[in-house]
A = this chain, B = another copy of it.
Amino acid sequence: MNGAESVVATLVRAGVEVCFANPGTSELHLVAALDRVPGMRCVLCMFEGGATGAADGYARMAGKPAATLLHLGPGLLNGGANLHNARRAHSPILNIVGEHAGYHLQYDAPLTSDLNGIAKAVSGYVATARSAATIGQDAARALAAARTGAGQISTLLVPADAAWSEGGRLADPVAPPPRAKVAEAAIADAVRALAKGEAMLLVGNGAVMRQPLILAAAIARKTGARIASIGRNPRLERGVGTPVVERLPNPAGPQTAALSRIRQLILIGEEVPVAFFAHPDRPSTTTHPDCTILHLASPHDDILDCVTRLAAEVGARAEDVPLQQLARPEISPGALTPDSVAMVLGALLPENCIVADESITVGRSLYAQTVGAPAHDWLHLTGGSIGIGIPMATGAAVACPDRKVINLQADGSGMYTLQALWTQARENLDVLTIVWANRSYKILRDELTNVGLPEPGPTALNMLDLGQPALDWVSLAKGMGVEGRRVEDVTSFAQAVRDGLKVKGPRLIEVVL
């Protein structure tokens, strides 16, 4: 067994089933090992941002890490932006990155770069394999690092000679440390805070999964607190059968208004709400100056245990929580607008679907119109780095082959990682991509006023305009083997969605707004 084979065997033994790969010469022994060691599905991506974004989507839905296989420093750089999003999602990902053979590094061959520096900048854990004899153990440890807490980005750098040399050893799985329990004192603090009134439970990450969410809603109901979440969660279980949770607006101004009466903010799986960007003469935080913030459970803590105990303390019962009933909007024919497309989705969203949401500005009405749809999962853009939607949908579809994935995709953002459509075609993944073609970086147009530039000049406006020439997403999809359709009114959009939901396999709808 060579080093590469010991890595694959160790990962398979520890339960890793999928590798999203864009390999090069330095990773060929790892690729070859996938043939010699059974048990790992290898999904080819044409760009590394597709691989890391897919690993994020996979982790969110599978609840466990996929591996990525990336080529040297440039490969890790290309995957870096979606690793940023995955870090903000607390997704467990294990990057296996090839490096030149150890003895070759001194020659500074063309592809040599500061791989360690790059890895440190995008990872929570970085290690370099030293030899074939120990690389299995290195892989087991790196996997445990990925699985620490809710999850983190773990990167194992693999010199080519450690991969190709004989003497590899299968390593036992390394257990990640157990998730921390919230201290009794913190639970007591929360009880006191709730008793003071003007309180909000701000839930996020693991706390917006159905079971803890019902308990948190029960606590809120029992104590008269509000319960809210921010629209930046790795995975939100919602729709029929889930408790209704207020959504805090993303823009700082409305978020500040929504929080203005709150004096006790209790964070469960969530961080302190802050402005996405600084704006001249506006505060960075969105809570009231007199608001006391209690960090009850971090995203990495045992959140279910925390809400179970807090519910017991306040006498809240899950069965008292009213759950969402089926309530779909009507489709009314007419022009395509952010509101009308939201109604179509609310009317048609199928039970048990997964929504991979990178809608950006178009998405602001989606949430309200789909709240009464059948139970579904909603995956957000967590880190603000655009270009996650198509890869995330790809990874979610790999994780859940029996569920329909609906990717709500802003056009400007989709262009960063459109290559993942090809992977969807190649793997025949069940993804319906809906592209919002407003042909602009619309959010930046809105932001100009926020940053104090209400009257932009022609150059600035031109930098936000994606309409000259207009992108033709039907052709782009066709170029990668995905059948697409362009729609320009509500009725044809609704029909295209119905048709897309009927087939199993990738389809794309370009919605001209």
- The chain A residues found within 8 Å of chain B, CB to CB, are 21, 23-26, 28-29, 31-32, 34-36, 42, 44, 46-47, 49, 73-75, 77-78, 80-81, 84, 88, 100-101, 103-104, 106-111, 113-114, 117-118, 120-122, 160-161, 164, 232, 271-272, 274-278, 280, 284-285, 382-385, 387, 412, 415-416, 418-419, 422, 425-426, 443-444, 447-448, 450-453, 456-460, 462-463, 466, 468-481
Q: How far apart are A5's CB and chain B's nearest CB, in angstroms? A: 12
Q: Show 12 residue pairs from A and B whose CB-CB distance is below 8 angstroms, ordered by the A residue.
A: A25-B276, A25-B450, A28-B447, A35-B459, A78-B78, A80-B118, A101-B277, A110-B276, A111-B385, A471-B479, A471-B481, A475-B475
Q: Is the CB–CB distance between B78 and A81 below 8 Å?
A: yes
Q: Is the CB–CB distance between A447 and B25 below 8 Å?
A: yes
Q: Is the CB–CB distance between B110 and A278 below 8 Å?
A: no
Q: Is the CB–CB distance between B81 and A110 below 8 Å?
A: no
Compute how far the CA of A447 lies from the CA of B384 in the bound complex, rounded to whole angstroms: 38
Q: How far apart are A143's CB and chain B's nearest CB, in angstroms? A: 21
Compute how far the CA of A369 lies from the CA of B481 in the bound complex, rounded to whole angstroms: 35
Q: Is the CB–CB distance between A383 and B25 below 8 Å?
A: no
Secondary structure of the A contact surface, majority rule: helix
Chain B's closest residue to A165 (CB) is B280
In the bound complex, residues from chain B placing their C-beta under 8 Å from that of A49 are: 78
Q: Is the CB–CB distance between A74 and B78 below 8 Å?
A: no
In the bound complex, residues from chain B placing their C-beta under 8 Å from that of A473 are: 479
Given contacts A74-B385, A164-B280, A416-B78, contact A29 B108 (CB under 8 A): no
Q: Is the CB–CB distance between B32 and A456 below 8 Å?
A: yes
Compute how far the CA of A272 lies from the CA of B479 in the bound complex, rounded to whole angstroms: 42
Chain B's closest residue to A510 (CB) is B479
Given contacts A26-B277, A284-B103, contact A478 B471 (CB under 8 A): no
Q: How far apart are A464's CB and chain B's nearest CB, in angstroms? A: 8
Compute how far the CA of A435 lies from the CA of B277 in the bound complex, rounded to whole angstroms: 41
In the bound complex, residues from chain B placing their C-beta under 8 Å from that of A479 are: 471-479
In the bound complex, residues from chain B placing their C-beta under 8 Å from that of A472 are: 478-481
Q: Is the CB–CB distance between B425 and A459 below 8 Å?
A: no
Compute how far the CA of A474 lies from the CA of B447 in the bound complex, rounded to whole angstroms: 36
Known: A24-B444, A25-B450. 11 other contacts (CB 8 A): A28-B448, A34-B463, A74-B385, A77-B80, A84-B111, A88-B110, A107-B274, A108-B274, A161-B280, A415-B422, A475-B478
Compute how far the CA of A161 lies from the CA of B111 in the bound complex, rounded to whole angstroms: 37
Q: Is the CB–CB distance between A459 and B34 below 8 Å?
A: yes
Q: How far apart are A149's CB and chain B's nearest CB, in angstroms? A: 16
Given contacts A463-B23, A471-B479, contact A453 B32 (CB under 8 A): yes
Compute how far the CA of A476 lies from the CA of B106 in the bound complex, rounded to whole angstroms: 41
Chain B's closest residue to A382 (CB) is B110
Report, nearest first, the 4 A-B pairs whose CB atoms are least far apart: A35-B457, A469-B481, A77-B80, A476-B479
Q: Is the CB–CB distance between A122 and B77 below 8 Å?
A: yes
Q: Is the CB–CB distance between A109 and B277 below 8 Å?
A: yes
Given contacts A73-B84, A84-B77, contact A28 B469 (CB under 8 A): no
Compute how far the CA of A425 lies from the CA of B471 in the bound complex, rounded to whole angstroms: 11
Given contacts A35-B458, A111-B384, contact A104 B422 (CB under 8 A): no
Compute how far the CA of A121 lies from the CA of B121 in the bound complex, rounded to whole angstroms: 9
Compute how far the CA of A94 lies from the CA of B135 in the bound complex, rounded to whole angstroms: 40
Compute how far the CA of A160 lies from the CA of B475 in the bound complex, rounded to whole angstroms: 38
Q: Is the CB–CB distance between B457 and A32 below 8 Å?
A: yes
Compute how far the CA of A227 lies from the CA of B207 in the bound complex, rounded to whole angstroms: 68
Given contacts A103-B278, A385-B111, A452-B164, contact A120 B122 (CB under 8 A): no
Q: Give the interface centre of A450, A471, A473 by most chain B CB atoms within 10 Å.
A: A471
Q: How far apart are A445's CB and chain B's nearest CB, in angstroms? A: 10
